[in-house]
């Protein structure tokens, strides 16, 4: 992404993918997410994938997903912003090598694509709306049939 001109808000979101998903550090999470951050994800009803409130909730979610895949990799497909909103399209690939809630490791390679829309206020993310292929992820893990 050398030579890109990024807004301050885009750089905040970029740091999630470049740093926080690689090394889930509490100080980085607190720098990026407001204490009252709220995640809006239709998969929140599933305890396997439910996000949380504030930086601690974000870290908990990232740690759960990372512990389920020893080779987790994120690809940032696109990043755009308008005013206080940043939208990121992403793809995640990883092998299911560790437990994910009650799901024992399957050894299956999983690829999931998604989009997130973040609202940023005062240099921190205050809300996030997440859309991703929840059913596809469960099918790849063998939990749901086609």
- Which tens digits make up the pLDDT trace of 92-137? 999 999 998 888 999 999 999 999 999 999 999 999 999 999 889 9
Is residue 92 one of the residues assigned to a domain?
yes
Q: Does residue 108 belong to any structural domain of this protein? A: yes
Q: Is residue 83 part of a domain?
A: yes
CATH of the domain at 120: 3.10.450.50
- Asked if residue 146 is part of any domain, the answer here is no
Residue 2 counted as domain residue: no
- Stated as kind and residue range, the H or E segment containing 27 is helix 26-32
3 occurs within a structural domain: no
When divided into structural domains, the chain yields a total of 1
Within a 10 A sphere around the Cβ of 30, how many other Cβ atoms? 16
Within a domain: residue 14? yes
pLDDT digits 0-9 by tens, 126-135: 999 999 998 8
Which residues 6+ apart lie within 8 Å of 5 measured at CB?
none
Domain span at residue 59 reads: 8-140
How many CB atoms within 10 Å of residue 2?
3
Please report the DSSP string for 47-88 in residue order: TTT---SHHHHHHHHHHHHHHTBTT-EEEEEEEEEETTEEEE
Is 64 part of a structural domain of the chain?
yes
Q: 119 vs 60, 99, 114, CA distance in Å?
A: 20, 32, 17
pTM recorded for the entire structure: 0.88
């Amino acid at each position: 992404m050398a030579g890109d001109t990024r807004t301050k808000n885009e750089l905040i979101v970029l740091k999630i993918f470049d740093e926080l998903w690689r090394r889930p550090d509490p100080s980085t999470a607190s720098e990026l997410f407001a204490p009252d951050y709220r995640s809006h994800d239709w998969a929140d009803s599933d305890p396997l994938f439910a996000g949380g409130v504030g930086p601690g909730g974000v870290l908990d979610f990232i740690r759960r997903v990372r512990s389920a895949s020893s080779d987790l990799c994120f690809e940032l497909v696109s990043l755009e912003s308008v005013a206080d909103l940043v939208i990121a399209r992403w793809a995640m690939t990883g092998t299911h090598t560790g437990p994910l809630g009650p799901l024992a490791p399957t050894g299956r390679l999983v690829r999931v694509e998604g989009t997130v829309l973040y609202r940023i206020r005062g240099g921190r993310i205050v809300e996030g709306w997440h859309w991703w292929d929840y059913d596809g992820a469960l099918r790849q893990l063998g939990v749901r049939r086609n």
